[in-house]
Every structure is written in C-alpha cells, then in structure tokens.
Structure 1
C-alpha cells in the first residue's frame, strides 16, 4: 500500500494567546488535516521546557486528529511520551518576550503503531543547534524510522557536522527524514544532471548572506550556496525525494512578510526537504508541495509530502 509522509516548519508555534495567533493556529490545524498523512515531521514547536513543548505537540495532535505518543521502552522502563526532541535556543517575540526554546517533533496517524524502544530524542547541545527526533513506526509488518530535524541556521561548519550526526542515525535502515535543512539541496535532477535547486544567492547582497554561502577570501566575488551539509547527507545515503522524483521545482519559503511589512530576506528557496535512505528510495512513488491559501497564511514555510510503498495497514488507516 501507499503511505504518505510530510515535513512542516510551524513557524515559532507556541500556545496561541492573541486573536491573531489563534487564527494562525486554526490555519495550521486545517492545513495539517488536509495533508492526510501517516507521519508528519514538525519543527519550531516552542516551549520553555521539553514538557511544555510536549503539551503543545499533544494539543496539536488532538486538534488535527493525529497522535504524538511514543511507545513504552521495555528495556529502559521509560513510559510513552510525546515525540518531542528539545533544543536549547529560545525565540524572543515581537515584544522582546521569550517564547521558549525551539523543539522538533513527530506526529502520526493513530492507526500507525510506534515500535517499543523505537523512540530517541537527540536533544540540542552538544550535537545540534536545534534537535533531531527519530521514531520507528510499524506499517503492517514494515518498520520505518521517521525523523524530524532542523539544521543550524547560523553556522555553516556546524551545519555540516550536524549532518554527520544525522546520517549516523539512519545508516543501513529503511527510514525517512523530514527537515528544515536551513540550506539548499545538493541532489541532482535525473533529467538534467544539474542541481535540482539552483543557487538562490548569486544575486544577493545583505548581512545575513554569510550564514548560507561558502567563505570568500574576496568578498567582491559572487556568493555561492554552501551545500556541504546536503552533499554529505546525499553521500551517506539520505536522498532528497523531490530530486529523486524530478517533479517541478517549488519554493517552500520566501513568501512570508513580517509584521513590519518586510519580505523574507532570502527570497524564494526550498529548504524543507524529505530524505529517504537508500533502502527506502526505491519505494518512493511521488513527491509534492502543499501551496494553498491556508498554508501560505499559516507559516513562513509550506509543507512537503512524499508517498512511499510500504507493507499493509488496516484498511481504515489508509488516507
């Protein structure tokens, strides 16, 4: 059967307080419901503690008809818990008030069962600026490791080393990683042999640029996107499913205009990526982006989806 999996950066999501936040939250919920997924990797779930973020993830799961719970670990005795991995880096809101730390999490169709002992949270420092969450799910006898990750936004060298740690969690397995990579892909288009993502930075010139490009001894030289983290993931067997399917390119971010009327400094680019391990790549059947009025209004990123051929599931669990 075909199962559907996604990745979605929720844009500094915290417990909604104002009418504006509640309206945006409702758009997020509606967008997630429309995805009809078996699993969804989410990023930027805010909370001052992992427990706070877990409660927010549980609320989101309840409101979208999904589940976020892991299975108990029979080896360690750890109970089931929300599938949230913690970051150490907070976010000041527009009034300068801390809205807690960034976290990543995993949502799933309630009919898809988590495997006991198949949950791991790679929590922030020292490995990551944000975090990595992995959860093994059982699709009727076929087990897939699902991951959620957000790359370092400010340090290209750290982002490269984070990629090494991420790939170590998926070596030799059937797995799928959903992420805000915070860099453009290095995978090639099968039809052209060129990068699936063209370089979005060649004509840019602003103070944030150095976080996304290769070091230039001569700053007057044209900027070049730093793809090292993506290239390492590719070499280590995590394949970009959008490039693999070679469908039409779409930006996943760059559409957002902030409260002061300022557009995204990076412009249109694709940094929201689903990567399948080599063992799973032959079972990928489709990839698409979800660009709707609600998804564009709900967050500064849009969701990406991939369809994968897996084992059987109860008929009522299939989207």
Structure 2
C-alpha cells in the first residue's frame, strides 16, 4: 500500500487516529507513506511520529528524512518479514528515498522503496527519476510506492488535463517547457518515460486497471498522482484505489494498493506482457 497522509503530525489527533484505523482495517503487509510532517528535518520528532504509526499497526518501520522538505517518508512492514537491509538516501532528492530488503519467505527478497517527487518542478522530477533508476537495480525484485507528483508515460492511459480549467499560474509548473509562450501546453511526462525506458513498470496500466484519480477530491484537478513502479510485472495480480468516504475525509490523496504473487518475484521482467503500460 502507498498513501500520502497529508502532513501527518501537523494534522489533528482525530485525523491521525482515523488514518491508523483505516490502515488497520486494510491490513497491508507493507506500507509506503508520504508527507509525515516534522519541521526542519527534526529526526527525533520524525522518529516519534513514525513510531506512533508503527505501534498502532503492530508493524516495524523505517523513517526517511527529507532533508530539503518538512514532509518526510516512511516504510512499514509486518514483523514476520525478516529485515535484510535498510537505507535512507538523500542524494539531493526533494523528499529522499527509503529502501528496505525483506525476506518474505520465497526464493528472492522483496526490495521495497518509497519516494515523493518534487511538487512543482518537472526538471527536478526528472532528475529524481534518473536517481531512482540508478539506485534501484533491475536485478532485484523491487516495488516502489510514490507520490509521483507527475503524469503517466502514456497519454492514452493518463489523458492530458483540461488546461483551460486550471489557474494560469499552475500551468508552467506542470508542462513540458517550450520557448514559445503561445504554444499549447503539454504535460511533462519525462519522469515516467525515464522509468519506463529504464525497465520499470507502472502497475496500474500494466494490469489494465481502469483509470482512477488518486487526488483532486479536495482541490486542484483529478489526476493519478500516486503510483507503484516495479521491476517484476509478472508478479502483479491486482491494483486498487481505495476510494471511500473515510479515505477522502482523511487526506487529499487516496491510498493505492497492489497485490503481488511472491512466488513470481524471481521471474525476469522480459517475460512481461503487455510491455510497460501498453494496452492489454
């Protein structure tokens, strides 16, 4: 599961308890979380907040400081999965990168990663995508849960927004740069295209799941802003956006869930079909 908690820690205790309750109800095996708020990269406060979530869920956790933002990320997992390694990266990424390798009881370990791309700079988003493809090798069975803050690679699956309906000051922060200011705006899809060309698969289009927005129910525009990328598309079994009244009330993002078949984690991505988001 991956979920942006909308400034967890700055939010009130009622909201935080509601988020704990929804997480307990959904019972994920592994959770990637974004937007855990601790001002000034206060690691003591960050550890306290992530510890509170882990205690509420009965899970183990790693907190990942975002050294260039007050909104941090974390990974939680069920304690029966053996932790083989963990790492929190800075690498000048806007929200950092957390990675754990877990023994899930099959032939190969599962590498779980979490990140959150820059909210307003497509060039920075692309730079972070380069870093992700460099730090998450295709040789490992990897699942990356992310607030992608960008667009999918395929405009047939993730259509162009209605730019005319958006505030003018937003548009330049989300479109591919063009030296002609009168050129029609075009969504900057380079971060997803970089991941795709590097051998990562976007779970929702790979499974042929119906398009569903994961944000925009509070403000902005409806878009699929939260994603799972994986190096083992043959292990994907199900993708779901948790769109309930409770989820809408608790954050400006909806949780996304993916089911993996652990027995298929050893299979190379070259056997996947369709390739990288092509229509099934």
TM range (shorter): 0.7 to 0.9
1:65-144 equivalent positions in 2, closer than 5 A: 65-68=58-61, 83-90=62-69, 101-115=70-84, 118-123=85-90, 126-141=91-106, 142-144=108-110
SS in structure 1 opposite 2:65? strand
- Alignment pair present for 1:300 and 2:262: no
TM-fit CA distance, 1:222: 2.4
- The question of whether the paired residues in 2 share the 8 Å contact of 1:41 and 1:104 is answered with yes
Among candidates 117, 127, 133, match of residue 167 of structure 1: 133
Structure 1 pair 131/201, CA: closer, same or farther in 2 (3 Å)?
farther
SS in structure 1 opposite 2:60? coil
- Alignment pair present for 1:275 and 2:244: no
Among candidates 207, 211, 220, match of residue 249 of structure 1: 211
Structure with higher helix content: 2
Task: Please list every run of at least 4 consecutive aligned residues from structure 1 whose deviation after the TM superposition is greater than 4 angstroms.
Answer: none
**Residues paired across the two proteins, number:** 259
- The question of whether the paired residues in 2 share the 8 Å contact of 1:50 and 1:86 is answered with yes
- Counterpart CA distance in 2 for 1:50 and 1:213 is 34
1:42-53 equivalent positions in 2, closer than 5 A: 42-48=33-39, 49-53=42-46
- The question of whether the paired residues in 1 share the 8 Å contact of 2:9 and 2:38 is answered with yes
Gaps of 5+ in 2: 265-280
Gaps of 5+ in 1: 1-5, 69-82, 91-100, 189-193, 257-263, 313-319
Q: Report the RMSD for the aligned CA atoms in angstroms.
A: 1.7
- Counterpart CA distance in 1 for 2:77 and 2:29 is 5
Cα deviation code 1:215-261 (max 9, x no counterpart): 133333321110101110111112110011111111000001xxxxx
- TM-score normalised by the chain length of structure 1: 0.77
Cα deviation code 1:131-181 (max 9, x no counterpart): 110000110133111000000112211110110101112222110000001
- TM-score normalised by the chain length of structure 2: 0.88
- The question of whether the paired residues in 1 share the 8 Å contact of 2:163 and 2:171 is answered with no
